[in-house]
Amino acid sequence: MITIRPAQERGRANFGWLDSKHTFSFGSYYDPNHMGFSNLRVINEDKVQPSQGFGTHSHQNMEIISYVLSGELEHKDSVGNSSVIRPGDVQRMSAGTGIAHSEFNASDAEPVHFLQIWIQPGQKGIKPSYEQKNFSEAEKQGKFKLVASPDGREDSVTIHQDANLYATVLHQGDRVTYNADNDRSLWLQVVRGSAKINGQTLETGDGAAITQEGELELVAIADNTEILLFDLA
């Protein structure tokens, strides 16, 4: 079964410096029908204006992934990490017992556009940790590239939950397939472009909850279609 979450039905918060679209309930946006999916709790599509950002704030017991689409996102945290996240990078921060961090647009001229993803951890109270890796477009072209997993296999970042995150970039007409066990749940997020998912059309920003579907076939409708696929317990 495929249940589409249309982009235009997402929650939205616009503060001028930040334009954020919420796939699931977040902040002042609350919808009891969209509180998350399996252990996936947050997918926020954020656009931050130049030299603006999120001041230092704290998190606990959450696996937080940042996925930059364009621009540069500067990260600093309370355990000494400092980095700039660029397109192709996947950053994982395990908040565990508690971590404080800030996220700012590293440019004084261009916006930064990124996805902030929260996954509930399999175990609470772990030691906070951080990891960042780059995955080239060539690695994702025409196939599902594993970018996050519970065991760090295939050089993916390691998340503390039974969840696998794949990314793919497709040209118009490209096809990719994915086979899921019936006891797993899938969430598909169209980052940009458009594609047919087992015959159903999804556009930029659309998501889809997928259960008991067996084989999943994606066919890109537009060039430079980019899709994230979450395989969840």
Cβ atoms of 112 and 66 within 8 Å: the answer is no
Handedness of CA 204, 83, 120, 155 (dihedral sign): positive
Res 80: pLDDT: 87
Q: Would you list the domain boundaries of the chain?
A: 2-232
Res 19: pLDDT: 98
Res 57: pLDDT: 92
DSSP state of 111: -
d(C-alpha 133, C-alpha 155), whole Å: 9
Whats the size of the chain, residue-wise? 233
d(C-alpha 177, C-alpha 121), whole Å: 28
d(C-alpha 104, C-alpha 74), whole Å: 5
Mean pLDDT by 10 residues, the chain (233 residues): 97 97 97 97 98 94 97 92 94 96 94 98 95 96 97 97 98 95 94 97 98 94 97 95
**pTM score, whole prediction:** 0.96
Res 138: pLDDT: 95
Fold of 2-232: Jelly Rolls (2.60.120)
